[in-house]
Structure 1
Amino acid sequence: MKTLPDPETLRPKFTPENQQALISEIQDSGLLTCYIGKNGLPVGFYFNGAVLEGGLADCLRRLPAPWQASMDHLINEDFYKRNLNAIRQGRLEEAVEVVAGQEITSLFLVSRFPLSPGGESGLLVTIRDISGISESRLKLSGSNVLFDLVADNMSDVFCVVSTSGKVSFLSPSIRELTGYTVEELLSRPLSGIVSPDSFEVVNRIWEEYQPLFEVGKISKSEIRPVCFEVKFVRKDNSARWAEVSSSPFIDADNNIQGVHGMIRDITERKTRQEAMSSSLQHEIELSQVKSKYISTVSHEFRTPLSIIYSNLQLLEKYRFELDEETIHDAFELSRMAVKSLLRVLDKVTIIDASG
């Protein structure tokens, strides 16, 4: 019989130097957080950043009323074993329906994080209420619709990088973004996935973090996220764009433990931006052509009109003093100017008809 791997040996998982800082952020995120010991029993609960003390029943009674009935069904003695088995099977995230009687009362997203060796906890489980999505399910057909909606809403990738540059955690949603599994992606060099220009951007951002790492400390109020865009190639060789929002994370003593980031696919947005930029450039070029065309036409009209106007002034002022030959020349020049104007008008008509 094949032996199941120990949860502590599974990836992805946190390293000792950043584990506590990252867990602190999860605890403060407003989720129900449950620690499971290596023996499969609960070690502790947090809700909205506050510890829930006492036994299992005491913890459940301290939850908000809408949670209590559902948690009575979801969290029981088998809950811990189920989550340990789920980790062994690689199910790090899944939606769970909690049924009371004949009705579906709640829907929760259960996320599991294997913890690194050295502590009494072997697994961290977070529970998020996503019951609101279930209302849409009543209006849509198909048993997979709800799970498709959940998957669409959880498409962002969460990653953690230590101060040494080692990737400590990468969420499984990376496969949806890149086509690579976590293991496949971590085994490839970054330069083989992102474009050369994007690789330079990533290196520049990382270099900007180095002075901060050397100081080693930063207060929470001083932390500012850094947003940048990268172009990468998926496993199927298609080019995509992603937006990365990164910031350092700290422990309780303000010691910098590394950098965490959210990665989001922005390919459609970039495509629209490029289309708008191309359209804008086309409009600029068209405007320049129109300006040049108007300037040329203006000149072509101005010269003949000046000739006609000058001859009219001459005839008006000196018509009784001019000889016949001079008058004839004035009329001839005017006729030539009129013909020139007609030729210009013909050109304008042809150009306008051709678009």
Structure 2
Amino acid sequence: MDNMCEDRAMTVFAGDGRHRVAVLVRDGVLPFELSLVHRLFGQARGADGVPLYEIVTCTPVPGDVRTDADFTIAVPAGPDALAEADTVVVPGADTDYEPRDDLLGPELAAALARIRPGTRIASICTGAFVLAAAGLLDGRRAATHWRSSPRVRERFPHVTFDLGVLYTDEGGILTSAGAAAGIDLCVHMIRRDHGAAVANEVARGTVVPPHREGGQAQYLNRPVPEPRTSSTSRAREWALKNLHRPVTLRELAAREATSTRTFTRRFRDELGTSPGRWLVQQRVERACALLESTDLPVDEIAVATGFGTAGSLRLHLKAELGVSPTAYRATFRGR
């Protein structure tokens, strides 16, 4: 499977413009991890309302596949689907928790060998074991469920398993931590393929945040936690309409008719961060949207988002995402 370890183009589209996603399921597949791939990629639509992805479920040997629940699923598609895929996603299975030397097995190994060079390959949760056993993660950073990390670290010493991230994106090989982190990973891939607007719409339709705390800072923005109450909502709404101008703590507190001390305490209780930190996050988020969706010069974007100067914008974007405005635009603009 050496050819599978070649560098991969991040987005390879089929001739009809639709990106083909193959979900490779195995005995004992976790239904949640399988369904979230269909749900998220299936919701992605272009401006004309046409689906942007074609999703197919496949298995090394077509037929009924056992799940870890009280039902089986019929999977008529075999490994041929992998040869036609632009992205392959490997969900976890309950068999991953059983220590075995033959993790791949001849049928699964043969199926993986059908994947074309240049295909993006992703795993959800313990699906990373399959990628590791195939040698795809050698020398790379990867994520998997924290409960499994001691065993997989011993089993795969050439892989750096990072417990501090929700997912990793390493040159076209992607991995996610627990099952729910698979949602973050899928939204990330949609964002890379089609930009923030499409990814945000998918997240909104699934009622999940478009960004959560976790690795790959260039692509995964800092979160804005959902507030438990709404005693600062008026101030936040006003601030979002005035990001282009200086916003002071006194002004925010005045919107809620409270002292700055009380406002700061309530804000931190509700959002888990300070008003100043939240403002920076919102300005970075707005700047990223403008870098992706417009051709405005960096100087103008800096003014429009309240950073004032291109130098200040560069400083904050570098601190938050690890890249410059120019590098960010080069990655996400022009889709």
Give the structure with the higher percent strand. Answer: 1
Larger Rg: 1
Q: Same fold (TM over 0.5)?
A: no
TM-score by structure 1 length? 0.27
Give the structure with the higher percent helix. Answer: 1
